[in-house]
Amino acid sequence: MLIGICGSICAGKHTTAEYLVQQHGFLRLHLPSLIPLAGPKTDDERRLLPSVTDEKGTRGLTFPDVNAMLDFVTKRWREHWVLTDIYDETTLDPSPLAEFVFTNDLQLYGWANADNSVHNGGSLPVPAGIAHLLPRAHLQILNQHRSIHDYHRLLDSLDLVSPIRLRPTWDAYFMTLASLASLRSNCMKRRVGCVLVHNSRIISTGYNGTPRNLTNCNEGGCGRCNSANSGGVALSTCLCLHAEENALLEAGRERIREGAILYCDTCPCLTCSVKIAQVGVKEVVYSQSYNMDDASRQVLNEAGVELRQFSPPRSGLVSAGTLPESCRDLVALTNGRAP
């Protein structure tokens, strides 16, 4: 596993890397800074240059370029590696606030010339800014923690080294498809998606909304959903089919064989649970809770249908901590197997 970390100055990049080194046995990797590296000149000698990467003496490997690093890591993809930005000595030296802000903005956004080249006012080239990399990160951490201990607790909860981040399990795979199906929902109240599978093969999918040939709910087709009624009120007047109902209807009783599993991004309601039990589904896996989980669980348990919740490792933007907004920094992590 290779985890790449980027972020603005003092965002916690090296703290995150050191956490992975100390807690999960990662080894740090580095690429050369903008200042040319002194040392061996031959390709073989330049390929692996051990370097001290932090005050605790954790040793890492420095590579002459990205291709050399990826070639090395790809052959050792079962091991754990972490890569952070490298700053030159000028960046690490204490500097006045104005210079710090300028350097930080330069790193984030770059400074383009008329010919679209980027520089820092001197002779050394500067990347176009890490702000352009953030949308490509699998996980973004809004670092607002007052102590390393609190930050480590957050990292523990994120399960950064979960194999699911490299290759989704069947649970993660089908739950992702259920969430994707929910985007097709036209219901005004809630978007729900469902996938019905057997032997890890998809039988049918479903999402909630008004029946075929009726006006879509989000176009006024269901009076109940377009009213101000709260959840669970006037359900008997709702015209929308639930995601589970659509998946079961699409599959038909003949295709729902023994051992079928239903994945739904929201726990089925009581009415859907009764229908799920009737058609012979063996197991229901859901991600988000609903307001009648206990009632649904009771029905499914009595019918011999297993109900369990699956929560994949968090991704996207994660925010936690107590620092004021003006002090927040962003750490972005790209997690994956070396190409």
Which residues are designated catalytic? Answer: 244
Residue 68, H or E segment: helix 66-74
Token couple for 95: 């500097």
Q: How many CA atoms lie within 13 A of 269 on its CB side?
A: 13
For 224, residues 6+ apart whose C-beta sits below 8 A from its C-beta are: 234, 235, 237, 238, 239
> Cα–Cα distance between 193 and 184 in angstroms, integer?
8
CB atoms within 10 A of CB 1: 22
Contact 276, 251 (CB under 8 A): no
Which bin fits 234, alpha (ψ -120 to 50), beta or left (φ > 0)?
A: left
3-state secondary structure of 90: helix
Torsion over CA: 217, 218, 223, 226 (sign): positive
Report which of 338, 321, 334, 1 is spatially closest to residue 161, judged by C-alpha positions. 1
- What the block records as the tokens of 210 is 């008004």
Nearest to 245 by CA among 298, 216, 208: 208
C-alpha of 114 from chain center:
37
The SS3 assignment for 272 reads helix
Q: Which residues contact 63 (CB under 8 A, 6 or more apart)?
A: 29, 30, 31, 32, 47, 48, 49, 69, 72
